Amino acid sequence: MKRLVRTTLALGAALVLSQSLAVERGGTLVYGRYADSLFLDPVLNDANLDIWILTNLYDTLLQPSANGKGVQPGLASSYTVSSDNKSMKLTLRSGIKFADGSPITAADVKWSLDRARKPDNGDWSGSLASIDNITTSGNTVTLNLKRPDPTLAAALATFNSAIMSQKLFNAAAGKNDAEKAKAFAEKPIGSGPFVLSEWKKGSYMVIKRNPYYWKKGEDGKALPYLDAVRFEIIPDDNTRILKLQAGEIQGAEFIPLARVNELKANPKINMALFPSTQVNFITMNNRPKLKDGSTNPLSDVRVRQALNYATNKDALIQIVTYGVGKPMNSFMSSTTPLFDTSQKGFPYNLDKAKALMAAAGYKNGFEVTSMATSGSANDLAQLTALQQMWAQIGVKLKIEQLDAATKTARYRANDFQMRTGGWTNDINDPSQITTYFAIYATVESLHTGFKSAEIEKLFEQSQSETSRVKRASIYRRIQTLYHEAAPIVYLYETPYPVALAKNVKGFVQIPLGNNIFAATYLDK
């Protein structure tokens, strides 16, 4: 018996090994995107459309790990934090080059990070705010800090900390930095696995293999395996799927969840569901009075809890996500670092919901309005299901459909009662989502108006607490406090649905959303 096990194991290992050695080099992967990138500058961009592609073109000192929970070495082969936690020393790999063949120097690193942390430069400069100054010596870069910063490693692994060539940037056309950035972003040269070769805005983008990329593949030669990736812009969901089925493209992103099961059954297609940091929820206006001066029942914590208990998440997951989601138990996704696995969320409990409503003085319920994005099938399915669920406790839900820009404008003005919402992290650390969800000063806690002195104090502690264990306990408490106050309706987590041709191997979309083509290859 033992022998059988051993033989099986050996055979299995041999199989894995032979498979891993069988990576194929060359070829072009055609990938269907729902919309084109807008502006390919790592510092001055604003949209996921750019962020999720940037890491293919630009490399960072550290990189997010594929499971989304930590960081791994990038352009820097190692880093050490001083014993007082007031500085970080990074060692650059030797012989690293930009995609034009020019060397990456410590001076380029300093210049790039200085540009990225300049408060006037972009919306992400805050992630490097703890840096006081940067010094270089040979191939080491030292970041001297104003305060200990446990989020710094994650921040250095985020797109805005990408390393650019100072010389190439300055050589770009334009009178000032803003103009140079625009010119450079049209044809950027970074040090990521690929380099932009052709871009017809709104139509297609071709990125080709960077011959100077440092990372090695399984065959011992430099990555990437592919010669090129061609992104075709196909806004219509059905057309993207049809093109994939016809073999005209080999990958299609943002597959509607309603089509996932159908594509899973297709033998020619690998319907991948990549774990994501996406949480889907309803934000509630927690303020005692609404913008029009009327009283707001949602200001009562018992009402907010009641709505949470009256929400049947499993049913929603079946109806809206066709079974591919999972219940949301914390305001942060289960893929977020320091997510507390002991969080229980709000299990469906109608009796508890009714009791809470009665205790709050709303035995007969009330009427409430939620904003939805017009044209979003998900929003509509979600809210009509909630309409029926909440009717059980007397709450009459009205749906107001608005286009995204109008919805955002109303939300920003705090002129709403409820709205559908979704979130994905951009950085491998729980601080970003916490700032937005629970800290009033940022965006009034997602415009809910929720404020907790205890959470704010704990969060401040967490921002300079470098012990991972202590930080985890702080975040456990924050998640519990947030849950008790229930400023939002917890719904579900969803993965990234990407449909690939069967011969596409090694493609990953990490939980932060970045599309990683570095180790992707086409099996012949």
Partner 1 sequence: MRASYVLKRLLQIIPTFIAVLILVFLLVRLLPGDPASAILGDRATPEIVARKKRELGLDQPLVVQFWIFVQHLVRGDLGESTSLKVPVLRLVGERLPVTLFLSVYASILGVVMAVPLAILAAVRRNTWVDGVIRGLFQIGLSLPVFYVALQLLTLLGAKLQWFPIGGYGDSFGDRLYHLFLPALTLGFNLAAILVRTLRNSILEVLTAEYVEFARSKGLRTRVVLSRHVLRNALISTITLLGLNIGALIGGAVITESVFAIPGVGRLMIDAIFGRDYPVIQGLTLVFAVLVSLVFLMTDLVHARLDPRVEHA
Per CB under 8 A, residues contacting partner 1 are: 35, 38-39, 46-47, 120, 123, 182, 185-186, 200-203, 232-236, 238-239, 242-243, 245-246, 248, 403-412, 421, 436, 442-443, 447
Contacts of 393 (CB under 8 A, 6+ apart): 306, 307, 310, 350, 353, 354, 357, 365
CA distance 407 to 405: 5
121 vs 382, beta carbon nearer partner 1: 121
Which two tokens mark 324?
């591919």
CB of 480 to partner 1, least distance (A): 24
* Residues 249 and 232: beta-carbon distance below 8 Å: yes
CB of 245 to partner 1, least distance (A): 6
How many CA atoms lie less than 13 Å away from 54 in the CB half-sphere?
Answer: 30
297 vs 449, beta carbon nearer partner 1: 449
232 vs 379, beta carbon nearer partner 1: 232
CA distance 407 to 441: 21
How many CA atoms lie less than 13 Å away from 155 in the CB half-sphere?
Answer: 21
Place of tokens 């969320």: 345
CB of 119 to partner 1, least distance (A): 10
**Distances 70 to 18, 143, 329, 331, 442 between C-alpha atoms, Å:** 29, 20, 21, 19, 25
Contacts of 85 (CB under 8 A, 6+ apart): 145, 148, 149, 466
CB of 49 to partner 1, least distance (A): 10
CB of 447 to partner 1, least distance (A): 8
CA angle 220, 97, 66 (to 5 degrees): 55
DSSP string of 404-448?
HHHHHHHHHTT--SEEEEEE--SSSSTHHHHHHHH-HHHHHHHHT
233 vs 472, beta carbon nearer partner 1: 233
22 vs 47, beta carbon nearer partner 1: 47
- Residue type, position 234, single letter: I
Nearest CA to 43 out of 108, 139, 127 is that of 127
CA distance 347 to 309: 6
* Residues 296 and 354: beta-carbon distance below 8 Å: no
Nearest CA to 58 out of 177, 163, 204, 181 is that of 163
CB of 9 to partner 1, least distance (A): 45
**Distances 275 to 154, 279, 463 between C-alpha atoms, Å:** 19, 11, 26
491 vs 508, beta carbon nearer partner 1: 491
Which 8-state DSSP code applies to residue 259?
Answer: G
Which two tokens mark 401?
């459909």
Which two tokens mark 469?
């264990």
CB of 311 to partner 1, least distance (A): 22
402 vs 481, beta carbon nearer partner 1: 402
CA distance 499 to 253: 7
120 vs 292, beta carbon nearer partner 1: 120
CA distance 370 to 3: 63
Which two tokens mark 418?
């409820």
435 vs 473, beta carbon nearer partner 1: 435
CB of 249 to partner 1, least distance (A): 9
113 vs 185, beta carbon nearer partner 1: 185
CB of 465 to partner 1, least distance (A): 24
Place of tokens 């889907």: 280
CA distance 330 to 346: 9
245 vs 473, beta carbon nearer partner 1: 245
CB of 238 to partner 1, least distance (A): 6
* Residues 257 and 377: beta-carbon distance below 8 Å: no
Which helix (H) or strand (E) segment holds residue 169: the answer is: helix 166-171
CB of 371 to partner 1, least distance (A): 11
210 vs 370, beta carbon nearer partner 1: 370
CB of 35 to partner 1, least distance (A): 8
CB of 335 to partner 1, least distance (A): 19
125 vs 166, beta carbon nearer partner 1: 125
